[in-house]
A = this chain, B = another copy of it.
Amino acid sequence: MPDIRSIAQRAKNASRILASLPGSTRENALNKMAGKLLQYKAEVMSANAADIAAAPDLTPAFKKRLQVTEKIFDYMVKRLKEAAALPDPVGNILEGKTMPSGLKVRKISVPIGVIAMIYEARPNVTTDAAAVALKSGNAVILKGGSESLQTNRILANAMREAAVEAGIPADVIQLIDSSDHAVVADLLKQDEYIDLIIPRGGKSLIKAISEGTRIPVLKHYDGICHQYIAPDADVTMATDIVINSKCQRVEVCNALETLLIDAAAAQKILPPLASALLDNGVELRGCRECCKIIKECLPATDEDWDTEYLSATLSIRIVNGIDEAIAHIAAHGSGHTDGIITSSMSMADKFIAEVDSASVLVNASTRLSGGGDYGMGAVVGISTDRLHARGPVGPAELCSYKWVAIGNGQLRD
A contacts, CB < 8 Å to B:
20, 97, 99, 101, 103, 105, 110, 112-113, 195-196, 207, 210-214, 216-218, 234, 237, 240-241, 244, 248-249, 348, 352-354, 356-365, 367-369, 373-375, 385-388, 390-392, 400-412
- Is there an interface contact between B244 and A387, defined as CB atoms closer than 8 Å? no
Contacts of A392 in B (CB 8 A): 403
- For the complex formed by this chain, how many copies does it contain in all? 2
Contacts of A373 in B (CB 8 A): 99, 101, 103, 105, 405, 410, 412
- Is there an interface contact between B407 and A362, defined as CB atoms closer than 8 Å? yes
- Is there an interface contact between A357 and B409, defined as CB atoms closer than 8 Å? no
Partner of A391, one of B249, B361, B386, B402: B402
Q: How far is the CB of A191 from chain B (nearest CB, A)?
A: 9
Complex Cα distance, B392 from A191, in Å, reads 23
Q: How far is the CB of A99 from chain B (nearest CB, A)?
A: 6
A sample of 26 inter-chain contacts (CB < 8 A) reads A20-B353, A99-B374, A101-B368, A101-B373, A103-B364, A112-B387, A113-B386, A211-B214, A216-B385, A218-B387, A241-B411, A244-B412, A352-B404, A359-B402, A359-B404, A361-B406, A362-B407, A363-B409, A364-B406, A367-B411, A367-B412, A368-B405, A373-B405, A374-B403, A374-B405, A391-B403
Partner of A388, one of B20, B375, B387, B406: B387
Partner of A412, one of B213, B360, B368: B368
Interface centre among A112, A385, A402, A412 (most CB of B within 10 A): A412
- Is there an interface contact between B105 and A375, defined as CB atoms closer than 8 Å? yes
Q: How far is the CB of A269 from chain B (nearest CB, A)?
A: 15
- Is there an interface contact between A411 and B195, defined as CB atoms closer than 8 Å? no
- Assuming A362-B404, A364-B409, A387-B388, what are 5 further A-B pairs, CB within 8 angstroms? A234-B409, A352-B404, A357-B402, A364-B407, A386-B400
Partner of A105, one of B213, B367, B374: B374
Interface centre among A348, A361, A405 (most CB of B within 10 A): A405
- Is there an interface contact between A407 and B361, defined as CB atoms closer than 8 Å? yes
Complex Cα distance, B412 from A240, in Å, reads 11
- Is there an interface contact between A365 and B406, defined as CB atoms closer than 8 Å? no
Interface centre among A103, A248, A401 (most CB of B within 10 A): A103
Secondary structure type dominating chain A contacts: mixed
- Is there an interface contact between B404 and A360, defined as CB atoms closer than 8 Å? yes
Partner of A112, one of B369, B386, B400, B412: B386
Q: How far is the CB of A117 from chain B (nearest CB, A)?
A: 15
- Is there an interface contact between B374 and A400, defined as CB atoms closer than 8 Å? no
Contacts of A248 in B (CB 8 A): 411-412
Known A99-B374, A386-B400, A400-B390: A409·B237 in contact at CB below 8 Å: yes
- Is there an interface contact between A405 and B359, defined as CB atoms closer than 8 Å? yes
Complex Cα distance, B121 from A306, in Å, reads 43
- Is there an interface contact between B405 and A369, defined as CB atoms closer than 8 Å? yes
- Is there an interface contact between A403 and B358, defined as CB atoms closer than 8 Å? yes
Complex Cα distance, B112 from A385, in Å, reads 10
Name the residue on B nearest A254 (C-beta): B412
- Is there an interface contact between A403 and B216, defined as CB atoms closer than 8 Å? no
Complex Cα distance, B386 from A387, in Å, reads 12
Q: How far is the CB of A22 from chain B (nearest CB, A)?
A: 12
Contacts of A362 in B (CB 8 A): 404-407
Contacts of A353 in B (CB 8 A): 20
Partner of A216, one of B207, B368, B387: B387
Name the residue on B nearest A366 (C-beta): B412
Q: How far is the CB of A41 from chain B (nearest CB, A)?
A: 23
Complex Cα distance, B354 from A210, in Å, reads 31
Partner of A390, one of B105, B213, B402: B402
Q: How far is the CB of A228 from chain B (nearest CB, A)?
A: 15
Interface centre among A196, A249, A392, A408 (most CB of B within 10 A): A408
